Structure 1
Amino acid sequence: MNMFKKAFATTLALGLLVSPFSGMNQHAEAASSDVNLRIMETTDIHTNIVNYDYYKDQVTDQFGLAKTATLIHQARNEAENSLLFDNGDLIQGNPLGDYVAKVDPLQEGETHPVYKAMNLLDYEAGNIGNHEFNYGLDFLNTILKGANFPYINANVYVDDHDDNPTNDENYFTPYKILDKTVIDESGQDRQLKVGVIGFVPPQIMQWDKANLEGKVIAKDIVETAKKFVPEMEAKGADIIVAIPHSGFEKAAPSGNDENAVYYLSEVDGIDAILFGHAHKVFPGDSSFEGIAEVDNQKGTINGVASVEPGYWGDHLGVIDLTLSESNGEWLV
């Protein structure tokens, strides 16, 4: 499936403007205050910063953030308002990642090559993926200092060893509410509070047990969302973007599910989902066909705009939302 030149795994959420007033003029006036917001995602870069295949020892046009950057610039030029996020699984996956972590380990004060590149692209926030833990917490905490954008994760907690879940503290910042100035369709500046929250598979406690046991614990993705999304709304988030480093399954939830996106989409208050982990493309991959409440053309899951842009930077995920303000609240 070589869709790189097609550029985008794109999903479009169209807002329906409902006005209590009749007549064309009122509708046109209301529509002119709508805000079109483009949300972009990279995921599962796995240290493929340049378009180079280390295993074949040759240049490639099939993947690499250097290639994705062209898509990012193109997508930004098409939209008045845009936000860019990374989903995670960024620092491990090819010899460059291993070299920086093990052969010539990054030192305090140095900037990891992935952030030297990403800082040029103006990311709004990054999510922690499961492979971020492969080199240990000390290394992770050191390299995160080189990012010029905040990192979020809501379901990893400090292991306080007291067996009392009510007083657990997050290891990372669970979410951010970004204050953004956007331009509406009439050309006026508007203020928008964009809440963004991140998740990682709880299975990190098995996959990286040697690095994490006794230091952190991981909790269920969906239950964590149900805890924090209302809090984000109470703190003024106009829209909420969820960034789960998690794949899609329709199997009944069993708790601490690795692939929790379907049930995450049922959590009230989430307006967009940027997912990954499974290295698939949504909308578009045939594995998403024929599943109830999944629109594999429009790109929605249970009516929530969602996107998964492959891996290694071979796609850019794009969600376009139209936001309408009604009685002081923004509606998708």
Structure 2
Amino acid sequence: MIVSLPRHLLALLFGLLLSLPGAAQRLPLRLLLTTDVHMQLLDHDYTLDRPSPQFGLARTASLIEQARAEAPNHLLFDNGDLLQGSPLGDWLAHQGNWPPAQLHPAYRVLRALQVDAANLGNHEFDFGLPFLRRALQGVPFPVLSANLLDSRSGKPAFKPAVMLERRWRDEQGRVHRLRVGVIGLAPPRSVALLREQLLGRLRTQDAVTSARHWVRQLRRQGADLVLLLAHTGLEPAGQTARPLDDNVALALAELPGVDALLLGHAHGLFPSPAYAQHPGVDVEHGRIGKVPAVMAGRWGDHLGLIDLLLERRHGRWQVRESRSVLRPVWDAQQQRARAEPATWVAPLIQQEHEATRAWVQQPVAQSRVPLHTHFAQLLDSAALQLLNEAQLAQLDRELKGSRWEALPRLSAASPFKTTSLHGQAADIPVGPLALKHAVDLYPYQNRFKALKVNGAQLRDWLEMVAGQFRTIDPAGPAEQELLDPDYPSYNFDVIDGVRYAFDLTQRPRYTSYGQRRPDGGQRVALLEYQGQPVRPEQEFVVATNSYRAEGGGRFAALQGAEVVAEGRADSRQVLLDHMRQLGTVSTVPDQNWWIQPVPGTRLVFRGLAEAARHLEQTPGVNTLGQPEAGLQRFSLGGR
């Protein structure tokens, strides 16, 4: 016989069953992530001096408000590289522009967003350790880093981890107290490159080693969940993380006791099809191994979300289900904004914003030629020619009267803003040049340096550079993609003072991690100095920057190379001084490097549609089809 009970008795019985030992209790929790904001606090392009709908923490703030309204149980994190990367950050770093009594504007905005915890990235240290220590004064939430240690004591130089205690309601409305452990991790190699800024006061520890230790510590302290707030990306497909590597998400996911990964540093988007070929990665649900993960781009262009369903059995909370998604502020397909800026952000930093706008408008020189980086990875460009000429002029001053003065002098410069890396390019029209244009061409806080290398090292340097390109099959399709999306354009050094050519039918010699490939070929098909082949023992002095000179990019050829000049000025100041000295810029690329044609093959790449207006001055590059979502397919050579 079936007995029917009243509804209120059924509810009471259900509640009693859930309260029994071993009965499951389920609680939803949403994790929200911003990362690599790089001082793009507002949706403002300081180079063009106008709002942009494609980025800005002010727009991300609107997505955060919406995401919180949908999920009462939530935590918000920022994953570092917050304090540097835009003219606003540069202006604040100048002495006197930021009153000591005020909270740094970036942390002012994060405070208003009610961030639960933040992490330190490598660019937090670009303006020096004293600047960072001052910026952290008065921050009302924990700012973490577990693997940056005091050089003398060996103890963490910053708060390594935090235990957040929160009260949340489960699916039945009952309140539970959860203890969430959060560990901050910095990219050790990138921080270690900033030796001058740190002055020996910090040393780095391997991120995986640090994480393993602190996960155990937090578990011993009774953490219900442990999250890694890690300024790190995924290792390139097919490569295993090594000690002190920057990108170690796959290795972190293998650590026992980790419930979620909140990633950054690589400016990538996870989950996304870009990582579909990585073994052990589930881009549909957003997991690395079995661990939920998210990485939210850069400049506030995406909000990262991980939705967890926690289940409590036998007194312990575990992740039963998860799903990671990204919410963009800009719809690239529809070419429209997905989020408007939160109106409360601009008033918080209005004074600093207006001062920055005025600062970047300072006149510097005039230009008779357009300076852009749309095709700088494919052909010699006036923009990189100007950078290299500035560095060579500085090198002449540095070497005068030294024992290196008689050696041949070269210069290496990279395109920092490209479609392949940022979805943007430097694009400076003919006319007045202002400080903002120097920032556009050189956005980083590198310092001028020069290295002594021999011909064998120089050739290997260029072999590493040539890893940017895919291998072209002469017997393959009529159209073949040219650029490797895993290779950052800031590692594509154009070296002036020699002539060279790349043969892309050969396999690359190095991986993007600087590891020698067992099947690697020889892509540098020609390398000449003053019309003669470069000899392996021939010596050169090459002007470059502190990032490359101190190991940035893992150029195996430069390991142990002697530093023969260290300028006091940063690399952008070298460019500014050169522009001012010229007065009028008329730089023309000398076409000292090129990609050898592959008969019967059209080399294809994607760039911004607006780049097409420069084609009259760019022989050999043509458009293919019609623009789509602001992008245009271009070809180099072909049938």
Q: State the TM bucket, normalised to the shorter chain.
A: 0.7 to 0.9
After TM superposition, the structure 1 = structure 2 runs for residues 309-328 of structure 1, keeping only pairs within 5 Å, are 309-328=296-315
Match of 2:151 among 141, 150, 159: 159
Q: 1:144-223 counterparts in 2 under 5 A?
A: 144-160=136-152, 168-223=154-209
Quote the residue 2:613 is aligned against: none
Q: Is 2:45–2:51's contact at 8 Å kept on the other side of the alignment?
A: yes
1:58-113: CA deviation from partner (whole Å, max 9, x where unpaired)? 11111101100000000000002000000000010011000111154434321111
The sequence identity of aligned pairs, in percent, is: 40
2:250 equivalent to 1:262:
yes
Query: Which residue does 2:406 correspond to in 1?
Result: none
* In 2, Cα distance between equivalents of 1:34 and 1:254: 38
Q: 2:287 aligns with which of 300, 308, 314?
A: 300
> For 1:182-214, what per-residue CA distance to the aligned partner results, in whole angstroms no more than 9, with x for missing partners?
111111110000000011111234431101142
Residue 130 (structure 1) aligned with residue 122 (structure 2): yes
Instruction: Give the Cα separation in 2 of the matches to 1:227 and 1:107.
Output: 39
* Residue in structure 2 matched with residue 53 of structure 1 by the alignment: 45
Query: Once the 2 structures are TM-superposed, how far is the Cα of residue 298 of structure 1 from its aligned partner?
Result: 0.6
Q: Which amino acid aligns with 1:265?
A: A
Name which of 220, 231, 238 aligns with 1:234: 220
Question: How much has 1:147 moved relative to structure 2?
Answer: 2.2
Preserved contact between residue 150 and residue 201 of structure 2 (Cα < 8 Å): yes
Contact 2:34 2:302 in 1 (8 A): yes
3-state secondary structure, aligned to 1:323: strand
RMSD of Structure 2 on Structure 1 (CA): 1.8
Alignment-derived partner of residue 81 in structure 1 = 73
In structure 2, how many angstroms separate the alpha carbons of the residues matched to 1:27 and 1:302?
37
SS of corresponding position for 1:267: coil
1:63 to 55, 70, 74: 55
AA partner of residue 296 (structure 1): V
Give per-residue Cα distances to partners, 1:275-329, cap 9 Å, x unaligned.
0111111001x32012221011110001100000111001100001111111111
| One-letter amino acid matched to 1:267 | L
Code of the aligned partner of 1:288 = Y
After the TM superposition, which of the residue ranges 253-262 and 28-37 deviates more from structure 2?
A: 28-37
Contact 1:194 / 1:239 at 8 angstroms: preserved in 2?
A: yes
Residues 260, 232 of structure 1: CA spacing in aligned structure 2 closer, same or farther, 3 A cutoff? same
Aligned to 1:13: none
Tell me the residue number matched to 1:331: 318
Tell me, yes or no, if the aligned pair for 1:159 and 1:214 is still in contact at 8 Å. yes
What are the within-5 Å matches in structure 2 for residues 90-109 of structure 1?
90-102=82-94, 104-109=96-101
Does the CA contact (< 8 Å) of 1:204 and 1:218 recur in 2?
A: no
Secondary structure of the residue aligned to 1:56 is coil
1:262-281 equivalence runs, <5 A: 262-281=250-269
Can you give the 5+ residue segments of structure 2 that lack an aligned partner in the other structure? Answer: 1-12, 320-639
| 1:121 maps to 2:121 | no
Q: Is the 8 A contact 1:177 1:193 kept in 2?
A: yes
- Distance in 2 between the 1:293 and 1:156 partners? 29
Cα displacement (A) at 1:157: 0.3
SS of residue in 1 equivalent to 2:242 = coil
TM-score by length of 1: 0.87
**One-letter code aligned to 1:306:** A
1:297 aligned counterpart, secondary structure? coil
CA distance in 1, matches of 2:146, 2:41: 27
Q: Deviations over 1:206-249 (max 9, x none)?
A: 43110114201001000111111111100011001101101111
Total equivalences in the alignment: 302
Larger radius of gyration: 2
On the 8 A contact 2:161/2:184 being kept in 1, the answer is: yes
Correspondent of 1:252 among 232, 235, 240: 240
> Contact conserved, 2:30 with 2:306, CA < 8 A, in 1?
yes
Which stretch shows the higher mean deviation, 114-123 or 214-223? 114-123
Give 1:228's aligned amino acid. W
* Counterpart-to-counterpart distance in 2, 1:130 and 1:67: 24
1:62–1:82 distance in 2 versus 1, CA, 3 Å: same
1:322/1:215 Cα in 2 relative to 1: closer, same or farther (>3 Å)? same
Deviation (angstroms), 1:25: 5.5
CA distance in 2, matches of 1:225, 1:115: 25
Q: Which residue number in structure 1 is paired with residue 369 of structure 2?
A: none
Where 2:94 maps in the other structure, the secondary structure is: helix
Measure, in 2, the Cα distance between the counterparts of 1:226 and 1:115.
29
Residue of structure 2 equivalent to 1:19: none
Contact 2:24-2:311 within 8 A present in 1 as well: no
Residue aligned with 2:210, SS = helix
User: Which 10-residue stretch deviates more, 311-320 or 146-155?
Assistant: 146-155
Q: Aligned equivalents of 1:261 and 1:48: distance in 2?
A: 25
8 Å CA contact retained: 1:65, 1:312: yes
**2:190/2:246 contact within 8 Å kept:** no
Q: Secondary structure at the match of 2:112?
A: coil
Greater shift in the superposed pair: 148-157 or 107-116: 107-116
The one of 137, 140, 151 aligned to 2:132: 140
Query: Does residue 224 of structure 1 match 2:210?
Result: yes
User: Which consecutive unaligned segments of at least 5 residues does structure 1 have?
Assistant: 1-23, 161-166
